C-alpha cells in the first residue's frame, strides 16, 4: 500500500516546539505513546546525542498536522548510554511498565544484537537508526533498522570512484578491533569488496576505538603505500588517521563506510582529509525539504548548546522512524487502548512490512525481507572544506 504522506503531514511546520517528549506510563487514551532508547552518553555520543532533536521535530510536525487518528503523539525516553545490557533493561521498562506502542532505537549494532531477541519476546517493534552490521535483524519478527547495509553502501562508494576515474588500484585497511561494526568492516567488508572491485589489498592494521596515537599503524601503512585506506572507525579517528598519514607522507585517500558521515567532519579534518570519500543516506543540500529540516535542526541544536549543529544521517534516520510509526499507526487504526496493546503492536509491525516507497526525508524508503530499510545512497567527498555530492544511487528494488 502506498503511504498517504500528504494527507498525514500536510500541515507540518518546523516552527512549532511543543516539548512532547516526556516520561510516565502510556495509559492516557488521548495519546499514542512511543518509547525511545536514546544514547545520550557512551562511545557514540558525538553521533547519537543529537538524534532526539530530530525525533522532537518529527513529533511536533505530526501533532501540528492533527496527530494520528485524532490523538497526539509523544514519546518516553530511556538513556541506554549505548550499553547493550542497559538497552535490554530500557526495552523491558518501556514495553512492560510504560506500555508504549513501539520503540525508536536503539543506536548501535552491539545494542541491536541483544535488543532484537528481547523485542521478539516482548512483541514490540524496535527500529535502529545507526546499526548497519549486515543481516543483523533478518531472522527476527519485531526488529527493524532504518539503515542500509554497510557492505551495500561501500560497494556503491567503489563503483562511484571507478566511474569517476579516481585511483583505486591498491588499497589498505585500518580498523578498530573492539567494536562490532568496525571489526566487521575491517575484517570482512572492506577486503572482500575491494578485491571484488579489482583493488589489490596490500596491508591491514588495527587499533582500539579510543586509540590516541596511530603512528605505529600509519608506519605500517606507509611501508606498503596504497591508493585507498579503508577505515573502520568513528569520525574522531578519521581526523587522527588523516593527520598522521600526511605527517608521515602517506598520500592515500581515506575511504570508509557511513560511520564517518559526520556533516562537520570536513571542517574538523582540515586539508589533510581532502579527498576522503564515504556513503551517507542523508545529504542536507539535496532539496528544499532537506534544507528546511537542516535549518530547523540547527536552530534547535544551538538552543540546546550541542557541540554539533548540523544534522547527520542518523538524525535524519531518527526523524524518519517517527514518521514511519505515525504512518503505520494510522494505517492500522491504532487506538492506544490498553486492552488492545499486543494486537496493535503487531499491527504496527505488519504495516511496516507492507510499507512501499514512503516519501521520507532521506528519500523513498521501503523495507526489505530482512527488515532493513531500502533507501538511496549518496556518495560524498570532502572537497574545499565541505562535503560534495559525487553520485546518488537510488534505493534498491524490493
Rounded distance, CA 370 to CA 136, Å?
8
Q: For position 25, what pLDDT does the model report?
A: 43
pLDDT higher at 359 or 209? 359
Rounded distance, CA 109 to CA 114, Å?
9
pLDDT tens profile 327-346: 999 999 999 999 999 999 99
Indicate if the alpha-carbon torsion angle 313, 314, 318, 324 is positive or negative: positive
pLDDT tens profile 270-282: 999 999 999 999 9
Ranges 83-87, 145-149, 296-300: which has the least confidence:
145-149
Angle between helices 288-303 and 313-331 (to 10 degrees): 110
Instruction: Give Cβ neighbours of residue 341 (< 8 Å, ≥ 6 apart).
Output: 99, 101
* CA nearest neighbour of 209 among 178, 180, 181, 235: 178
Q: What percent of the chain has pLDDT above 90?
A: 85
pLDDT tens profile 147-171: 988 899 999 999 999 999 999 999 9
Residues 249/304, Cβ–Cβ less than 8 Å: no
Does the structure show a pLDDT above 60 at 17? no
Query: What is this structure's pTM?
Result: 0.87
Q: For position 41, what pLDDT does the model report?
A: 87
Place of cell 502510556: 26
Give all domains of the chain, ordered by start, each with its CATH number.
Answer: 5-148+284-367 (3.40.50.2300), 150-280+378-393 (3.40.50.2300)
Q: For position 15, what pLDDT does the model report?
A: 33
Does the structure show a pLDDT above 60 at 391? yes
b or e along 18-36 (b: 16 or more beta carbons within 10 Å of the residue's beta carbon)?
Answer: eebbeeeebeeeebbbbbb
- Count the alpha carbons within 13 Å of 81 in the hemisphere toward its beta carbon: 5
∠ CA 66-38-146, nearest 5°, is 70
Q: For position 22, what pLDDT does the model report?
A: 42
Q: What percent of the chain has pLDDT above 70?
A: 93
**Which residue spans within the chain are E strands per DSSP?**
31-38, 72-79, 103-104, 126-128, 143-145, 170-176, 200-207, 228-232, 253-256, 277-280, 358-360, 363-367, 373-374, 377-383, 386-393
Q: Mean pLDDT across the stretch 306-313?
A: 94
Rounded distance, CA 98 to CA 86, Å?
16
Residues 74/18, Cβ–Cβ less than 8 Å: no
Q: For position 219, what pLDDT does the model report?
A: 98
pLDDT tens profile 26-76: 444 789 999 999 998 888 888 899 999 999 999 999 999 999 999 999 999
Residues 71/20, Cβ–Cβ less than 8 Å: no
Q: How confident is the model at residue 3 (pLDDT cuts 50, 70, 90)?
A: low
Does the structure show a pLDDT above 70 at 312? yes
Amino acid at each position: 500500500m502506498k503511504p498517504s504522506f500528504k494527507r498525514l503531514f500536510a500541515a507540518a511546520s518546523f516552527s512549532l516546539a511543543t516539548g512532547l517528549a516526556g516520561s510516565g506510563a502510556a495509559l492516557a487514551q488521548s495519546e499514542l505513546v512511543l518509547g525511545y532508547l536514546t544514547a545520550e552518553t557512551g562511545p557514540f555520543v558525538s553521533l547519537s546525542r543529537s538524534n532526539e532533536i530530530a525525533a522532537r521535530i518529527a513529533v511536533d510536525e505530526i501533532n501540528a498536522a492533527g496527530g494520528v487518528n485524532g490523538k497526539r503523539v509523544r514519546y518516553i525516553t530511556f538513556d541506554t548510554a549505548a550499553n547493550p545490557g542497559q538497552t535490554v533493561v530500557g526495552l523491558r521498562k518501556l514495553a512492560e511498565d510504560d506500555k508504549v506502542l513501539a520503540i525508536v532505537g536503539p543506536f548501535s549494532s552491539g545494542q541491536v544484537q541483544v535488543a532484537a531477541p528481547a523485542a521478539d519476546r516482548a512483541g514490540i517493534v524496535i527500529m535502529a537508526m545507526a546499526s548497519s552490521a549486515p543481516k543483523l535483524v533478518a531472522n527476527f519478527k519485531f526488529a527493524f533498522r532504518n539503515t542500509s547495509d554497510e557492505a551495500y553502501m561501500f560497494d556503491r562508494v567503489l563503483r562511484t570512484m571507478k566511474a569517476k576515474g579516481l585511483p583505486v588500484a591498491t588499497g589498505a585497511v585500518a580498523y578498530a578491533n573492539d567494536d562490532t561494526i568496525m571489526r566487521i568492516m575491517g575484517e570482512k567488508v572492506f577486503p572482500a569488496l575491494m578485491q571484488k572491485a579489482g583493488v589489490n589489498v596490500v596491508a591491514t592494521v588495527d587499533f582500539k576505538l579510543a586509540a590516541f596515537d596511530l603512528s605505529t599503524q600509519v608506519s605500517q601503512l606507509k611501508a606498503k603505500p596504497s591508493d585507498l585506506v579503508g577505515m573502520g572507525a568513528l569520525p574522531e579517528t578519521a581526523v587522527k588517521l588523516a593527520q598522521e598519514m600526511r605527517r608521515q607522507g602517506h598520500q592515500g585517500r581515506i575511504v570508509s563506510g557511513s560511520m564517518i558521515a559526520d556533516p562537520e567532519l570536513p571542517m574538523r579534518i582540515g586539508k589533510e582529509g581532502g579527498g576522503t570519500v564515504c556513503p551517507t543516506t542523508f545529504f542536507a543540500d539535496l532539496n528544499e525539504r532537506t534544507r528546511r529540516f537542516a535549518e530547523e535542526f540547527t536552530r534547535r541544536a544551538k538552543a540546546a548548546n550541542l557541540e554539533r549543529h548540523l544534522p547527520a544521517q542518523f538524525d535524519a534516520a531518527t526523524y524518519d522512524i517517527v514518521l514511519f510509526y505515525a504512518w503505520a499507526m494510522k494505517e492500522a487504526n491504532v487506538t492506544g487502548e490498553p486492552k488492545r496493546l499486543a494486537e496493535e503492536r503487531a499491527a504496527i509491525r505488519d504495516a511496516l512490512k507492507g510499507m512501499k516507497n514512503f516519501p521520507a526525508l532521506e528519500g523513498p524508503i521501503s523495507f526489505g525481507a530482512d527488515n532493513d530499510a531500502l533507501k538511496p545512497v549518496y556518495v560524498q567527498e570532502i572537497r574545499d572544506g565541505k562535503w560534495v555530492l559525487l553520485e546518488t544511487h537510488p534505493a534498491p528494488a524490493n
